[in-house]
Structure 1
Amino acid sequence: MRPLRPGDPPSVGSYEITGFLGEGGQGSVYLGVSPSGERVAIKLLHARFAGDATEVRRFRREAEAARRVAEFCTARVLEVGTVHDQPYIVGEYVDGPSLQHHVTTEGPVRGPALMRLAVTTATALVAIHGAGVVHRDFKPSNVLLGPDGPRVIDFGIARALDASHSMTTGIVGTPAFMAPEQFLGEAAPASDVFAWAGTMVFAATGRAAFGVGALPVVMHRILNLDPDLSKVPGELAPLLWACLSKDARRRPTAEQLVRDLIRAGTTAPAAQTPPPVPLRPSPHPAGGPAGRPREGPAGHPAGGPAGGTAGGTAGGTAGGTEPPPPVAATTPLRRVRKALIPIGAAVTTLAVTAAIWLVRQADQPGGTGGTAASAAPSPAAFGAAVENVANPSTKTGGTLRVVSASTLESTDPGNMYAPHSLNMVRLYGRSLTMFKPVPGAAGTQIVPDLAESLGVPSDGGKTWTYKLRDGLKYQDGSPILAKDVKHAVLRSMDPDFANGSAHLDLLLDLPTGYQGAYKSPRVSTDAAVETPDDRTIIFRLKAPYSTFDQVVQLPETVPVPATKDTGARYGKSVLASGPYRLESVTDNKVVLARNEHWSAATDPNRRPLPDSYELEYGVPPEDADRRLRDGTADVGPSVAGDDVPGLLADPALKARADAPVTTGVRLLAINPEIPPFDRPDCRRAVVQALDLSALRLAYGVGQAPVPTSLLPPTISGRRHADPDLHPEGDPRAARQSLVRCGQPNGFKAKYVHRDLPAEARAAEAVQKALAEVGIDVSLERVPIAEFHEKKGGSPDYLKEHGTGLIAKGWSPDWPDPESFLSLVADSRQINEESYSINVSVRVRSIDDLIDQARKELNGSERAELWSRVERSLADEHVLVPMAWQVPLLLRGRNAANVHVSPVYGDYDLLTMGVS
């Protein structure tokens, strides 16, 4: 407290003013005394907030709402009034410093005190929101550290100030702690959750989550970049990631936040818990529709231009050594699955090759989840493009050259699904939504593209409505219309389109037997897809599906005018909606040039740099590698395993290399139908005995962190650290589990795997680890062509031959828990007589959780349900991670503005330039 200044009032209403406490952007704060002698804090708002009588009454009405807030954890509001038309609020006086002052003078809050602060302030938000009040200015200076605990103050004042435009002269709130939507004049309880998380970051680290600086700089970071949580304790970091989501719908409510904080406070974080990533919803619908088989032709590289394994591909050399099997082995399967694929049956698996983990080498810089404008590594540094932008640039012009060992799948947006195609198509085609083209965890966020906002669900999630942005045009200057999106969706369902996904086919409430726009032209589809006007498109689903936004990012929603559709030949003459157009297309080369009718005003996600792209496919790996190294190509295949040592020995090449963790996982399925694996403790003994360090060496991911959870860290959401997973195994615990399951001397078991060098090495590592605890494992090595359908994916075969251990690989269509878990964990996806992805998970309670998650529209509740699925799988010991997959990528010498896409596991073509 300081003495009163000249001009300070001696009293406000019935309260005597005894001292001056401080001043801010809203007004002056005084210490006062009530008529009964109670000390109070009086905020006298600046005269500029006083308008006419109507506005003052509106202010008082809004501020009075704050008086309904329950008193625990908050400084209660005692009175709201005006003096000389100047509004004031009288509140309880809290005798203690602000959190801002404490951290500035004493340093960050540590240990249990930090968790108590988090729980108490989150509880205050529960009370504030429960009274129908939005704080709007939650920040460290509005948290007072009183003698009886933290108290939140000033709730409701920002809302009162924002009651009308005439009563405010600028942004209401403190920019460093404001949610993205507040810069657009919107605020809700979720905005307070965002600000709370920023306040906790400041409390824990002494720094703002998005740094400091001029208002435009801070706004840019909040709107576009990742927060810096590098110094936040592990038990808090996952919750803060969720609360700092750019999308308000993805943040937990205050009530959910308190529950998660209590849970986090009672669970010690695992020593090797992977870094958290923001929560984001998940894509597969009820019943688990799946895309076309993503294993390429029987393991042929189907990755992005760099050959990596991403977004559900099973291909990509990924630094491995196994040669691809004959193409003919699964080509017929890929063509049949479109029409005959059962609901939820997918053929997505991991790449059949090994990779070298190099990201976290001790002698190299590590990322902290930053993005382009973060404190990035130097332009030329190992790993610089994994979570940041390497060689950042805004220079336009030049030609970006891509060389790929993969064959060109298609240029038709309705007939593609390989990651390298999905990476390419965004250059000339725009879907309703898209994954944000930024590095790190923020790149898993879904954002509007053609649509002006994410979908608006109704009917419990069975109906989704999108409105196109105004002013959209094709390359010929004609307008993009909602009916063009509808036609694009329907044409993609033609059975002759062998490559696209089956998501929309299985989700939409289409007439029975519908076969697409060409073969069923007279069939009415308005019940499934309706376009009431030129800008509105409405999708109606067979069942509620909470994350339909993830489905409509697929290129099936890239618009196609019916009058320009040439059917199977359309890939040669696609009418571009993106910043580039197809200039020429041959069997193995695509050339793109700028689309003069694309407008940046209608596209907030793309900032095209090159004048043109040249993409070559089917390039011999040795030729592609040579061109990438000598600088005549900018993007190329991942580095083959035999070439890794030589590349790392060359400092210039190593400085251009990146090794991102992908979504791929090597798995061990433990079949509970085979005795003694029908006993949980016998299954648990296997999990505890696994030597994960030996397994990562067997798979060729040497320095990678061993898996601590079923889902890798690149999958959005909170990860469950399985306590039974140990880097070197835990033989003692495994033997104790064997005693509990009635097998103290061990038992015999059969293990089946593909005839691939890495899988053979891994099988031997499993065999050795289990032998140490008395489990005698016999190995069956099966040719790739027959593994999935005849043996390793056939429940009947496994049961008939008593095979209890099955080597599996899996990578989701895109990085979220539903896409990963729905097909490997749902017992209803098991096809007893033919190929199944899931051969070991038969738990009804997990099925029920999956159903709930698919219907749950609240992002935080949905994320918790998927987390429960992951925990349940760990408790059942039926599906175990053995290794996370990592490719080694090389940036071209002239490549600029480069970052890895967490969706495609490869360099993002959409943001690159040339220096």
Structure 2
Amino acid sequence: MRGVRPLRPGDPTSVGSYKVTGFLGEGGQGSVYLGVSPSGEQVAIKLLHARFADDEQAVRRFRREAEAARRVAEFCTARVLEVGAVNDQPFIVGEYVDGPSRNLGSSHFDLMLDLPSGYQGPARSPGANTDSAIQTPDDRTIVFRLKRPYATFDDVVQLPETVPVPKAKGTRDTVLASGPYKIESVSTDKKKVVLTRNDQWAAATDPNRDPLPDRYEIDYQVTDAEQRLRAGTAEFGPSITSPGDAAAVLADSALKKRADVPVTASVRMLAINPQVPPFDKADCRKAVVRALNLKQLGLAYGPGAAQSRLPTSLVPPTVAGGRWRDPNLKAEGDPQAAKQSLAACGKPAGFATSYVYRNLPSEQQIAQVVQRDLAAIGIEVKLRQVSTAEFHKSYGGNPGRLKQQGIGLIPKSWAPDWPDPDAFLSSIADSRQITDTYSFNVSVRVKAIDDLMDRARAELDAGKRADLWTEVEQKLADEAVLVPLVWISPLLLRGQNAVNVHVSPVYDNYDLLTMGVR
């Protein structure tokens, strides 16, 4: 089997019930291994890097990849066999496809393109006629044909999976650079990568990228990133999450000048489950929304959110289009209005419900604020803490289990792959995305919203499309099934020599593609 290498020191010998027999490759999210199932079937196992186990955004992207792959017809990508977690590290198991194929790869194009029946990808269907989906009328034009209209498909074709690869070459063992930089070296422990200028790249054929630095030196798994940023020996690093470290940065005038607290495209939300009474009544759900103290929730989440703007809508302002400002969202809550909603839903004395969350400090702190706010209006919230693995397996994406267990409140988070309302709302608000296995949507089942989203996706006029998405947001606010708790706003510290600084709203940090140095 081509591309299979021996296991490295530190690689697992098993993942769940699967025996690991070889190493297939590694990406930004995780490592991919060759394995054997209990029945003897060869499988590909993608294991999220341990350093991302507590990173909500990384876990979300990883699980969304698995859910998208489940929805794709089996002839398009490797079939997903299991999604799980071991030691709180999520993993995806799929059938193994030998050769330069996409074992557990991204599925946007497979979901959207009008590929022919029986097509199994370029590795297993090399002679197939794919003109129904892709045409190349000349050397500079690619025409994509979709299963159904999608007005912002240009956002999709900007994703990494559209990077061209020469037909005669694979990328399993060789990295091909199409942009202004190429890999000069990778340390033996895979903790340092050096990028230098790509001598095969020309600005004349790539007007979209303006390379500034001559060289990137990127260190992974460092424990002193913040110290390096403070000292000026690094230009880019992770956000500051410790309240003590944040206070020290904001108290130092020189460091504060280099600090930023941008609103990103990521949101922490509370799903209110209409399958669990009395949340089957809209006014009971609105009582929760009206009672929440957004200031205290921001303080509970972390130092960045405490310094940033409070949410006024479900979709943050960094996403394209207009926003619907939810009148029920108040900085300090509105207990009186919340009690009026309780009376309107026939529960003037309140009621009891359950709230399940992961065993992470920020989620515990947010759960306690929600519990306190709702207690003030007579709603008793029973908190249930579970491990990250158990949350994702049994609660966070399992609507049937949530209904069975009577869990009314579920913390959720979301960030789109690109800053567009459809990328933000589809997976969390389209009822047709709900499955019996894992669903990001656990609380929205409104056909009128599904129909509106279909119209918005197909609308070519940008202004009309924005109006339709605003109407979707309004209906979601009226239903009170998804409540924004925090617009995620990381506290970032840029290096002393960094210039042309821009924050990527999707990746919640500075954009390395635009950053330069003095």
**TM-score scaled by length of structure 1:** 0.46
Match 1:818 to one of 394, 407, 422 = 422
1:601 aligns with 2:200: no
CA distance in 1, matches of 2:68, 2:340: 48
CA distance in 2, matches of 1:698, 1:669: 18
Greater fraction of residues in strand: 2
CA distance in 2, matches of 1:335, 1:673: 27
Letter in 1 for 2:392: H
Matches within 5 A, 1:366-385: none
Are the counterparts in 1 of residues 100 and 170 from structure 2 also a CA contact under 8 Å? Answer: no
Could you tell me which residue of structure 2 aligns to residue 471 of structure 1?
none
Q: Does the C-alpha gap of structure 1 residues 903 and 757 become closer, same or farther in structure 2, counting only changes over 3 Å?
A: closer
Matches within 5 A, 1:254-403: 297=48, 300-301=51-52, 313-314=58-59, 339-341=69-71
* Post-superposition CA distance 1:239-278 (Å, at most 9, x none): xxxxxxxxxxxxxxxxxxxxxxxxxxxxxxxxxxxxxxxx
Aligned counterpart, 1:902:
505
Distance 1:518-1:588 versus aligned 2 partners, 3 A rule: farther
Q: Do the aligned partners of 1:493 and 1:515 also contact (CA within 8 Å) in 2?
A: no
Instruction: State the alpha-carbon separation in 2 of the partners of residues 639 and 739 from structure 1.
Output: 43
Cα distance, 1:824 vs. partner? Answer: 0.7
Within the candidate set 150, 175, 182, 1:581 is matched to 182
Identity of aligned residues (%): 57
> Which of 665, 677, 682 is equivalent to 2:279?
677
**1:646-725 maps to which residues of 2 (within 5 A)?**
646-700=248-302, 701-725=305-329
* Secondary structure in structure 1 of the residue aligned to 2:392: helix
Residue of structure 2 equivalent to 1:532: 137
Report the AA paired with residue 680 of structure 1: A
Question: In structure 2, do the counterparts of structure 1 residues 640 and 803 end up closer, same or farther at CA, with 3 Å as the change threshold?
Answer: closer
Question: Contact 1:896–1:913 at 8 Å: present in 2 too?
Answer: yes
User: 2: distance between equivalents of 1:584 and 1:735?
Assistant: 63
Deviation at 1:605, TM superposition (A): 2.6
SS state at 1:517 partner: coil
Shift of 1:882: 0.9
Structure-1 residue corresponding to 2:90: none
- Please show how residues 15-164 of structure 1 align to structure 2 within 5 Å: none
Ranges in structure 1 where 5+ consecutive residues have no aligned partner: 1-291, 316-329, 347-490
Tell me which amino acid in the other structure corresponds to 2:180: P
The aligned residue for residue 511 of structure 1 is: 116
Q: Rg: which structure is higher?
A: 1
Q: 2:488 aligns with which of 874, 882, 885?
A: 885
> Is the counterpart of residue 559 in structure 1 residue 164 in structure 2?
yes
How far is the alpha carbon of 1:592 from its aligned partner? 2.3
User: Once the 2 structures are TM-superposed, how far is the Cα of residue 569 of structure 1 from its aligned partner?
Assistant: 1.1
Aligned mates of 1:302, 1:569 — CA distance in 2: 26
Which amino acid in the other structure matches residue 268 of structure 2?
A: R
Alpha-carbon separation, structure 2, partners of 1:590 and 1:533: 37
Give the direction of change, closer, same or farther, for the CA distance of 1:737–1:744 in structure 2 (3 Å limit): same
Question: Could you tell me which residue of structure 2 aligns to residue 780 of structure 1?
Answer: 384
* Equivalent-residue separation in structure 2 for 1:883 and 1:567 (angstroms): 39
Specify the SS of the correspondent of 2:412: strand
- Equivalent AA in structure 2 for residue 605 of structure 1: N
Counterpart AA for 1:715: V
Q: Check whether the contact 2:311–2:487 (CA below 8 A) recurs between aligned residues.
A: yes
What is the match of residue 94 of structure 2? Answer: none
Instruction: Please say if residues 670 and 677 of structure 1, whose CA atoms lie closer than 8 Å, have aligned partners that are also in contact.
Output: yes
1:639 aligns with 240
Report the CA distance shift for 1:791/1:595 in structure 2 as closer, same or farther (over 3 A): closer
1:502 is aligned to 107
Contact 1:664 1:884 in 2 (8 A): yes
Change (3 A) 1:828 1:548: same
- Structure 1 segments of 4 or more deviating over 6 A? none
C-alpha separation in 1, matches of 2:153 and 2:392: 30
Amino acid at match of 1:895: A
Q: 2:178, 2:442 → 1: CA distance?
A: 43
Aligned 8 A contact 1:338 1:495 in 2: no
Q: CA deviation at 1:601?
A: 3.0
Alpha carbons of structure 1 residues 555 and 781: separation in structure 2 relative to 1, 3 Å: same
1:298–1:785: 8 Å Cα contact kept in structure 2? no
1:520 to 117, 125, 128: 125
> In structure 2, what is the equivalent of residue 743 of structure 1?
347
Matching residue's letter, 2:227: R
Q: 1:911 is paired with a residue of what secondary structure?
A: coil
Matches of 2:368 and 2:499, distance apart in 1: 43
Q: Distance in 1 between matches of 2:130 and 2:372?
A: 58
Cα distance, 1:301–1:659 mapped onto 2, change above 3 Å: farther
Q: What is aligned with 2:477?
A: 874
The aligned residue for residue 404 of structure 2 is 800
How far apart are 1:827 and its partner, in Å? Answer: 0.7
2:231: which partner in 1? 630
Cα distance change of structure 1 residues 593 and 704 upon mapping to structure 2, 3 Å threshold: closer
- What's the CA shift for 1:588? 3.1
1:765 to 369, 376, 390: 369
The offset of 1:822, in angstroms, is 0.5
CA distance in 1, matches of 2:50, 2:454: 32
Give the deviation of 1:581 after TM superposition: 2.7
Between the aligned partners of 1:790 and 1:646, the Cα distance in structure 2 is: 40
Deviation, 1:513, is 4.6
- Per the alignment, do residues 764 and 337 of structure 1 end up closer, same or farther by CA in structure 2, a change over 3 Å counting? closer
Structure 1 residue 640, shift from structure 2 partner: 3.4
Cα distance per residue 1:858-901 (max 9 Å; x no partner):
11111111111000000011110111111121212222322223
Q: After TM superposition, give the deviation of residue 553 of structure 1 in Å.
A: 0.2
Report the Cα distance in structure 2 between the residues aligned to 1:821 and 1:493, rounded to whole angstroms.
33
Q: Among residues 442, 453, 462, which one is paired with 1:850 in the alignment?
A: 453
The unaligned stretches of length 5 or more in structure 2 are 1-28, 31-45, 74-79, 81-97
Q: Which amino acid aligns with 1:735?
A: K
User: What's the secondary structure of 1:834's corresponding residue?
Assistant: coil
Between 1:536-545 and 1:506-515, the stretch displaced more is 506-515
Letter in 1 for 2:300: A
Superposed displacement of residue 514, structure 1: 3.3
**Cα gap change, 1:513/1:626 in structure 2, threshold over 3 Å: closer, same or farther?**
farther
Residue 784 of structure 1 deviates from its aligned partner by: 0.8
Secondary structure at the aligned position of 2:474 is classed as helix
> How far apart are 1:612 and its partner, in Å?
1.9
**Rounded Cα–Cα distance in structure 1 between residues aligned with 2:191 and 2:67:** 25
**Residue of structure 2 in register with 1:82 after alignment:** none
Q: Alpha-carbon deviation of 1:611?
A: 1.9
3-state SS, counterpart of residue 494 of structure 1:
coil
Which residue identity lines up with residue 250 of structure 2 in the other structure? L
Counterpart AA for 2:112: L
Q: Which amino acid aligns with 2:419?
A: P
Instruction: Kindly indicate whether the alpha-carbon contact (under 8 Å) linking 2:263 and 2:309 is maintained by their aligned counterparts in 1.
Output: no
Counterparts of 2:426 and 2:468 in 1: how far apart (Å)?
12
Report deviation, 1:505.
1.6
Report deviation, 1:300. 4.0
SS at match of 1:804: strand
**What is the deviation of 1:848?**
0.4
TM-score, normalized by length of structure 2?
0.80
The Cα shift of 1:774 comes to 1.3
Residues 753 and 782 of structure 1 are in contact (CA less than 8 Å); yes or no, is this contact kept in structure 2?
A: yes
Indicate the SS of the match to 1:743: coil
Q: Distance in 1 between matches of 2:117 and 2:450?
A: 26
